[in-house]
Amino acid sequence: MQSGDVAGAALAIAEAVKADPANAAAWQLAGMIRRRAGDNPGAVAALEQAIALGLASAEVWNSLGLAREDSGDLVSAEAAFARAASAGSTYTPGITNHARLLGRLGRHAEAEALLRAALERQPRAPDLLNALGALLIEAGRADEAEGVYRTSLAIRADNRVTVIRLGQTLREQGRADEAVALYRARRAALGDSPEFVNALAGALVDSGDWAAAEAELERLCAAAPGYFPAHRGLARLAREHGSAKDGYRSFRKLAADFPDEPAVWLEWTSLLLKYGDYTEALEVIDAASQRFQSEQLVHSRAVVLSETGRPDEAEVLFRALSETPAGTVQAVLTTRARNAILLGDYALAESLAAQAVEQDPLDQFALAYLGLAWRLRGDPREFWLHDYERQAQQIALGDLADPGEMEALRTHLRSLHVAKAHPPDQSLRGGTQTDGALLTRPHPVIRRLREGIERAVAQYIEELPDDDGHPYYRRKTAAFRFAGSWSVRLTTAGFHVAHIHPEGWISSALHLVVPSLTQGEAADAGALVLGAPPAEMQTGLAPRHVVTPREGHLVLFPSSMWHGTKPFAGGHERLTVAFDIAPR
């Protein structure tokens, strides 16, 4: 296993446990090897056998937690990590993994308490400090995380993870220039690991020097061709910052250099689909299919056919996938439901979306397609799911009634819009979007904005009905977090195509600059429209609810509710802040 021969290791350990089935240490090693080989159920079974035979150490429980997490059983994984922490109060991997998973489950307060208790026992443990810093960033407390990382760095100055994360914390606070300086000062000592160079490139983009970032990523792609984040970064720079170079040039070289490596083709295809480059995606899928076959390639081809006006052909592929284990994968169910709507088979769309919701009640795409199928079938449950009058609320933010406060916020936000074009995988057209988590930045106007938003969101949540049987209301809780936040600046007749927010529960639009209507412009120009699905779905459905934007007013609505905006006349600015809310 240490030499990289995982298949050979799997065969050897299989013989070992067969020859000595009561050997707990052999079962522990079998679990580690099976997990490395991607056999998560086998790994879980082997590690559970090791524990049953009496090897209940913190290390074994931690390995079991990781295997269960890999299998998607987060509740059992959390229990295993808890046992690891109790079995070894100073076993750092078990503690950090437990805290990380608690954060993933939205239980940030428990995770923080766990890490701080561990740090009382081991105050100079960089891994514990780094885990606490990561948790604080996730909770939107980047300024506190900075102090934690600096403490960690004072203990161990050569800790590459600490340096990378400290720089990311500075970026979260809008201090990209400091992050660049930090990385450059530490570069000689830490070396050019892929993660370090990628972090430097991200900081350079945030600081406005995208050309230097591009050069760093080009060198990284050449030096570490298997590090896919660098290839994705190059593609994004080409689309968002106006590079004249082919954004997929590094993927083309990868495919030429490693033509029989499926991961290269699948990664490239995934990015092409994400960016909506369907013509090229089909060419890449065709080329990949000459090398290997996979259910993921079949699914990607079905998506391309569906999105390029060939839903009948796509359904043939979806039906074939339904006969395989991939047929119940969440992404396959939701994309097939979308295709069924394009086919006009609304009963099939409802069935698929309902199955996806049953598998994952938090899947916002599944809920959106289910609501749309109900609407197309004339089912009144559409309005049960999305009650536009009750769930969509426009709220005045009192602090922004002060002209000075409003102008200070506008000025600061404009300074953050450094890109030249919209992100290729986002809904806006004719404008730019800020990077990173806007509402974690420490600037005074952002802090005051966040506080005002938190008050408004808390009031909105409090007024939601108590209904555990409703997909939206059942998540009601006074404890919430920001799952993302950003600013959008539209110009040149900008607008948002209809979309939803898959990572959210509650989504938003805070209007800060609303362009005045020009002569001859439609009365609803610039309006926020809710309930109209994307135009490419060809339903011809009108919006269910239209909100006239008002400066200083916040609109809140379910993340599964289709929403977009009407274009406005060119030459005018529209400035907004948006965010997603998720329960803690």
pLDDT in tens, 96-134: 999 999 988 878 889 999 999 999 999 999 999 999 999
CB 171 within 8 A of CB 178: no
CB 95 within 8 A of CB 114: yes
pLDDT for residue 496 is more than 70: no
- Domain positions in the chain are 388-583
Q: Give the integer Cα–Cα distance in Å for 343 and 242.
A: 37
Share of the chain above pLDDT 70, in %: 96
Q: Give the integer Cα–Cα distance in Å for 380 and 384.
A: 7
Q: Which residue has the higher pLDDT, 371 or 104?
A: 371
315 CB burial (10 A radius; 0-12, 13-18, 19+): buried
Q: Give the integer Cα–Cα distance in Å for 183 and 560.
A: 40
Mean pLDDT across 207-234: 94
Query: Residue 116, Cβ neighbours under 10 Å: how many?
Result: 12
Q: Give the integer Cα–Cα distance in Å for 179 and 164.
A: 9
For the ranges 420-424, 515-519, 541-545, the lowest mean pLDDT is seen at 420-424
SS3 category, 190: helix
466 CB burial (10 A radius; 0-12, 13-18, 19+): exposed
pLDDT for residue 576 is more than 70: yes
CB 234 within 8 A of CB 225: no
Query: CATH number for the 388-583 domain, one of 3.30.420.40, 3.30.540.10, 2.60.120.620, 3.40.50.2000?
Result: 2.60.120.620
pLDDT for residue 519 is more than 60: yes
User: Which pLDDT score, from 0 to 100, does residue 511 have?
Assistant: 94
Query: What's the token pair of residue 325?
Result: 């284990």
Task: Looking at 378-517, list the stretches that DSSP marks H as alpha helix, in order from N- to C-terminal side.
Answer: 381-385, 388-391, 403-416, 444-462
Q: Give the integer Cα–Cα distance in Å for 345 and 355.
A: 16
Nearest CA among 169, 214, 440 for reference residue 182: 169
SS3 category, 573: coil
Query: What's the token pair of residue 304?
Result: 């391309």
Query: What's the token pair of residue 126?
Result: 């960089």
CB 583 within 8 A of CB 475: yes
CB 536 within 8 A of CB 307: yes
* Confidence category of residue 432, pLDDT binned at 50, 70, 90: confident
Query: Residue 449, Cβ neighbours under 10 Å: how many?
Result: 25
**CA distances in angstroms from 181 to 50, 174, 209, 522, listed in the order given:** 49, 14, 13, 49
Mean pLDDT across 366-392: 97
pLDDT for residue 6 is more than 90: no
Length of the chain equals 584
User: Which pLDDT score, from 0 to 100, does residue 425 have?
Assistant: 46
CB 432 within 8 A of CB 489: yes
Nearest CA among 203, 260, 244, 251 for reference residue 229: 251
pLDDT in tens, 307-341: 999 999 999 999 999 998 888 889 999 999 999 99
Mean pLDDT across 336-354: 97
- Residue 170: CB partners within 8 Å, gap ≥ 6? 146, 176, 178, 179, 182, 203
Q: Give the integer Cα–Cα distance in Å for 134 and 145.
A: 7
User: Which pLDDT score, from 0 to 100, does residue 288 have?
Assistant: 96
State the SS3 of 498-533: CECCCCCCEEEEEEEECCCCCCCCCCCCCCEEECCC
Q: Which residues pair with 293 in a beta bridge?
A: none
CB 498 within 8 A of CB 561: no
Query: What's the token pair of residue 202?
Result: 């991200």
* Confidence category of residue 424, pLDDT binned at 50, 70, 90: low
- Residue 533 main-chain phi, psi, to 5 deg: -70, 170
Output helix, strand, coil percentages for the chain, rounded to the nearest 5: 60, 10, 30
Query: Residue 197, Cβ neighbours under 10 Å: how many?
Result: 22
Cα torsion angle, 255, 257, 259, 262, sign: negative
* Confidence category of residue 429, pLDDT binned at 50, 70, 90: low
* Confidence category of residue 423, pLDDT binned at 50, 70, 90: low
pTM equals 0.82
Query: Residue 221, Cβ neighbours under 10 Å: how many?
Result: 22
Q: Give the integer Cα–Cα distance in Å for 283 and 265.
A: 11
